[in-house]
């Protein structure tokens, strides 16, 4: 039995096994769901608790962010405030996040143990230049001996070719033993049995009890069904975790615990939260059934069962619980709602109703971070319904399903009604949303905006009419280039064209056509600072950005352009096209010239009668179907086909099913390419 690569420094152990966290706002809802799934994986097998940071209780915490290191984390608790856990572009996989959280918990890489030579060989000649430090051996002062064997299966172990100069060059060789096959290393699927045992030892987890993440369960004390009394006093811990927006209802169906004064020595204690500082919901001893159901106010509950030698020959207790979604939510600031079992698939045949109330004179604002609910054109199966008030009769703000994140929304009063419904067929990952109290600063405050005040969640910002630009004071407006163009055709020129445009200019043109018309824009001259890549990251100096204005709050970007290559022809997706030009204070060029024209959009009314896609053409229109569907003989309707394609054309493109919308789940698609003999593809 040999040491494992856990930290030996006591100050790096997280107090009470509680690891507070925050997530940077630049991560998508899918990323946040992935992080939560990885944290739940650690919680499920250990007594470690990952909780959203509360500034009062949690001075030290981790922040999910993205750093230059890509995938990296400090080992254990640093102890001086926030510490980063970096999840870069290629790190956003379940197993990799679980691995990085292992560092947070306090684990070094398995191969860095002081006596690794008994288990692996490091091939230094195959290590990529500059990465040698990742294979340094640690000292006994840094690694704690927990009496556990070397774990080739650990999620903290490098793979055989990690940081290798070439894919087929190994950097770590497990030592061959005549009595066993050479083990595989570097799995990133799940915690190993050794990882679980080590974490429970490191954090001195109770030897009995467990973590519950299911919607419901029944459980008993260890000796409940045994005729043999325990040999020693017991201390067990059960941690019940539901999702945000759910409460836990506990039913103690049988109680047989030695009765001491005030249940001082032997007892079952229940707390409304995740740790010893949480409020006590009840402390029980004696015999009989607890008649009252015990309900949490949040999504966590902690049960501690403590006995002494007096408990011999007594059963202990039996209990069951259920996570109940919905309810009334009264908050001073904000909170979170999640579908049952999030981020895993929600449960069938659920109906959850939340009635959210914030203080008077405020509104309720709701913002979805992730959203994946069974799709249907009319949302008749699974859906989220939001109403402006606190009853099922209040005005409907929206009914949502599918894969697109709903827009931010707010109530007109201090109440909001949110309802989630699932049927018995298809289950998806569900949703996660935050809500907060919101006030319309534009209506209730002296905002000081000269032209327009735009209310935002948690604040406001000033804006100017077309033809004006915001002054540096962010409130007043001054004359600017650009303007509103309503003629059926015309020209747009950069400032001073054909001479060089001035520095530090921001111009906005809005071309507005009549309803049910579209606008086509063609550039005849184009010369801006920058290269010819049409990406925002490559046009950081001077640029032209073009949007279709779908609604006042919804702009769909066509592209960002710079350099000297003429952009292709652009057709709006609505009757308003927005062109934005900006220049910095360095290099000036001759700018651009463009002409525009308008045309009737037959697709604007009832999608031209097309079931899926309607493409406007000059003076007419054409219907088409999403990938995986075929157009019927009437030229308008689509019928779902298989997902197998025979491709014989000499060149072209292929698309995922339903492109450009989200592809459906559980599809198995095959493209079979065939060319004439003597040719390759």
Name the residues annotated as catalytic: 100
Binding-site positions for Zn(2+) read 99, 103, 109
Residue with tokens 């600017």: 480
Helix (H) / strand (E) element for 40: namely helix 29-45
DSSP 181-201: PPPP----SS--HHHHHHHHH
Q: Which residues are annotated as a binding site?
A: 99, 103, 109
Interatomic CA distance for residues 356 and 410, integer angstroms: 12
Angle between helices 94-105 and 193-202 (to 10 degrees): 30
Lookup: tokens for 329: 């939510």
CB 355 within 8 A of CB 328: yes
Which residues, 6 or more positions from 366, have their beta carbon under 8 angstroms from its beta carbon? Answer: 386, 408, 409, 410, 416, 418, 433, 434, 435
How many Cα atoms sit within 13 Å of 160 on the Cβ side? 11
- 8 Å CB contact between 341 and 243: yes
Task: Please tell me the distance from the alpha carbon of residue 22 to that of residue 84, in angstroms, as a whole number.
Answer: 10
Rounded to the nearest 10 degrees, how much is the dihedral formed by the CA atoms of 66, 72, 75, 78?
Answer: -30
Please choose, from the candidates 306, 295, 240, 301, the residue with its C-alpha nearest in 3D space to the C-alpha of residue 267.
306
Burial class (CB in 10 A: 0-12, 13-18, 19+), 10: exposed
Spacing of C-alpha 533 from chain mean position: 30
Torsion of CA 618, 622, 625, 626, to 10 degrees: 0
Separation between Cα atoms, residue 109 and residue 99, nearest integer Å:
9
Q: How would DSSP label each residue in 429-464?
A: -EEEEEEEEE--HHHHS----SSEEEEETTEEEEE-
Residue carrying the six token digits 């091939």: 123
Which SS3 state, helix, strand or coil, does residue 531 take?
coil
Which residue in 654, 660, 628 sits closest to 641, CA to CA?
628
SS3 state at 28: coil
Q: Do 361 and 434 meet the contact criterion of CB atoms below 8 Å apart?
A: no
């Amino acid at each position: 039995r040999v040491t494992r690569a856990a930290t030996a420094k006591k100050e790096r152990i997280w107090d009470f096994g509680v690891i507070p966290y925050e997530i940077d706002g630049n991560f998508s809802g899918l990323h946040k769901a992935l992080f939560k799934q990885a944290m739940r994986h650690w919680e499920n097998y250990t007594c470690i608790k990952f909780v959203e940071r509360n500034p009062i209780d949690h001075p030290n915490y981790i922040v999910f962010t993205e750093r230059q290191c890509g995938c990296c984390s400090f080992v254990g608790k640093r102890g001086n405030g926030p510490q980063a856990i970096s999840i870069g572009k290629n790190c956003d996989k379940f197993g990799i996040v679980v691995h990085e959280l292992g560092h947070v918990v306090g684990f070094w890489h398995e191969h860095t143990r002081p006596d690794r030579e008994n288990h692996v060989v490091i091939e230094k000649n195959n290590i990529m230049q500059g990465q040698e430090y990742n294979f340094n051996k640690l000292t006994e002062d840094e690694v704690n001996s927990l009496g556990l064997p070397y774990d080739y299966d650990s999620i903290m172990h490098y793979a055989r070719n990690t940081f290798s100069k070439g894919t087929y060059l190994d950097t770590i060789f497990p030592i061959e033993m005549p009595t066993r096959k050479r083990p595989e290393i570097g799995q990133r699927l799940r915690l190993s049995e050794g990882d679980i045992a080590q974490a429970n030892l490191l954090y001195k987890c109770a030897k009995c009890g467990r973590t519950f993440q299911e919607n419901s369960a029944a459980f008993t004390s260890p000796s409940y069904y045994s005729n043999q009394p325990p040999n020693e006093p017991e201390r067990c811990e059960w941690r019940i975790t539901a999702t945000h927006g759910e409460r836990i209802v506990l039913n103690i169906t049988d109680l047989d615990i030695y009765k001491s004064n005030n249940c001082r020595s032997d007892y079952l204690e229940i707390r409304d939260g995740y740790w010893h500082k949480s409020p006590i919901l009840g402390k029980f001893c004696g015999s009989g059934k607890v008649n009252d159901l015990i309900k949490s106010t949040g999504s966590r509950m902690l049960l501690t069962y403590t006995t002494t030698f007096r408990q011999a020959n007594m059963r202990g207790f039996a209990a069951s619980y259920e996570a109940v979604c919905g309810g009334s939510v009264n908050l001073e600031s904000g909170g979170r709602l999640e579908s049952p079992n999030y981020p895993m698939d929600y449960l069938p045949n659920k109906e959850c109703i939340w009635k959210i109330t914030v203080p008077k004179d405020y509104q309720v604002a709701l913002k979805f971070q992730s959203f994946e609910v069974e799709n249907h054109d009319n949302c008749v199966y699974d859906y989220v319904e939001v109403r402006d008030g606190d009853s099922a009769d209040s005005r409907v703000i929206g009914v949502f399903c599918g894969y697109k994140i709903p827009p931010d929304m707010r109530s007109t009063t201090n109440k909001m009604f949110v309802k989630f419904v699932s049927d018995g067929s298809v289950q998806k990952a569900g949703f996660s949303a935050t809500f907060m109290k919101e006030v319309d600063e534009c209506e209730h405050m002296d905002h000081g905006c000269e032209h327009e005040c735009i209310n935002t969640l948690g604040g406001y910002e000033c804006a100017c009419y077309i033809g004006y630009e915001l002054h540096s004071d962010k409130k007043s407006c001054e004359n600017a280039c650009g303007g509103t163009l309503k003629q059926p055709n015309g020209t747009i020129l950069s400032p001073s064209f054909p001479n060089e445009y001035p520095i530090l200019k921001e111009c906005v043109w809005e071309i507005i056509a009549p309803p049910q018309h579209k606008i086509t824009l063609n550039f005849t001259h184009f010369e801006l600072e920058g290269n010819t890549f049409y990406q925002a990251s490559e046009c950081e100096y001077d640029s032209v950005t073009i949007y279709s204005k779908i609604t006042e709050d919804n702009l769909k970007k066509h592209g960002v352009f710079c350099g000297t290559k003429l952009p292709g022809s652009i057709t709006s997706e609505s009757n308003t096209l927005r062109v934005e030009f900006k220049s910095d204070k360095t290099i000036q060029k001759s700018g651009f010239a463009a002409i525009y024209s308008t045309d009737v959009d037959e697709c604007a009314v009832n999608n031209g009668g097309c079931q899926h896609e309607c493409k406007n053409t000059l003076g007419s229109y054409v219907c088409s179907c999403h990938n995986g569907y075929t157009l019927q003989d009437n030229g308008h309707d689509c019928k779902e086909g298989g997902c197998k394609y025979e491709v014989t054309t000499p060149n072209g493109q292929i698309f995922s099913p339903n492109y450009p919308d989200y592809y459906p789940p559980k599809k198995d698609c095959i493209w079979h390419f065939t060319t004439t003999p003597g040719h390759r593809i």
